[in-house]
């Protein structure tokens, strides 16, 4: 007869399953954004405030548990928090529109220099404060997920998607320099989020099959993703949207 497994909190159940352990029931979590109009209405928090105000960000994230009953909460609803700190002009959107970048600071450049004070920018600090709020209010009950954008996604915004993708063909060393420069942002921001209260980190990088071939992924990104994961020093989940191709040998 199989022994009964102990009843766990949503947090312990999710983390146990994530790490390969046996659980008494299947956990349900989401390491990316769960924000939608209906959820904003349910907790009376809307974009763009949820990108810019820590209390609003934390309240909308907490609704993932209090309203949707997920075993996780994750407060980063945009893909531009880092690049706003790195110098991109950002349109923060509205309740029906996600934020988007309006400038590409690395466009046309061959050398890439990060702002020395990017970690102090409000778009970075708001995430850290939201994580602290969630840790205090829900840290014993649910898994708190942080999120950082990977260097491929950051390069899209900093250089411009078309220019960056063309460079993968005609200027591969420029691409590698951008990735090497921006990986430090992914690592540093992830570590800051772990310190602020995240249990795990989602590394979101838009290296999807439609725009990154398996060979390009293995040549450009696989070693970087392995390096980033090791350097973060905590549990990570890699997120890529869309259809994925089988890796090449």
Where do the domains of the chain lie? 28-239
Structure tokens at 18: 């994530």
Q: What is the pLDDT of residues 144-186, one digit of tens each?
A: 999 999 999 999 999 999 999 999 999 999 999 999 999 999 9
Give CA angle at 109 (105, 114), nearest 5°: 50
Whole-prediction pTM value? Answer: 0.93
Contacts of 235 (CB under 8 A, 6+ apart): 15, 18, 19, 199, 200, 201
Query: Does domain 28-239 fall into CATH 3.20.20.210?
Result: yes
List the one residue out of 163, 178, 159 whose CA is nearest residue 220. Answer: 178
- Looking at 122-212, list the stretches that DSSP marks H as alpha helix, in order from N- to C-terminal side: 122-138, 151-159, 161-170, 172-196
Structure tokens at 238: 């890699």
Q: What is the pLDDT of residues 88-130, one digit of tens each?
A: 999 999 999 999 999 999 999 999 999 999 999 999 999 999 9
Structure tokens at 11: 């947090």
């Amino acid at each position: 007869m199989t022994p009964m497994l102990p009843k766990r909190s949503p947090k312990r159940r999710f983390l146990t399953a994530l790490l390969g352990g046996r659980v008494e029931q299947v956990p349900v979590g989401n390491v990316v954004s769960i924000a939608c109009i209906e959820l904003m209405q349910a907790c009376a928090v809307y974009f763009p405030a949820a990108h810019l105000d820590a209390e609003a960000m934390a309240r909308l994230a907490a609704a993932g548990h209090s309203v949707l009953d997920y075993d996780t909460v994750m407060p980063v609803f945009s893909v531009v928090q880092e690049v706003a700190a790195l110098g991109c002009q950002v349109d923060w959107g509205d309740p029906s529109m996600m934020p988007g970048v309006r400038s590409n600071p690395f466009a046309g450049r061959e050398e890439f220099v990060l702002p020395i004070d990017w970690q102090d920018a409000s778009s970075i600090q708001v995430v850290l404060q939201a994580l602290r709020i969630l840790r205090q209010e829900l840290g014993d009950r649910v898994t708190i997920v942080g999120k950082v954008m990977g260097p491929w996604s950051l390069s899209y915004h900093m250089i411009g998607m078309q220019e960056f993708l063309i460079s993968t063909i005609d200027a591969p060393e420029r691409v590698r320099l951008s990735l090497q420069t921006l990986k430090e942002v992914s690592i540093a921001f992830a570590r800051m989020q772990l310190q602020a209260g995240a249990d795990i980190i989602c590394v979101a990088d838009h290296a999807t099959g439609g725009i990154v071939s398996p060979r390009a992924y293995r040549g450009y990104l696989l070693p970087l993703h392995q390096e980033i994961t090791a350097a973060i020093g905590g549990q990570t989940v890699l997120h890529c949207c869309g259809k994925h191709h089988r890796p090449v040998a």
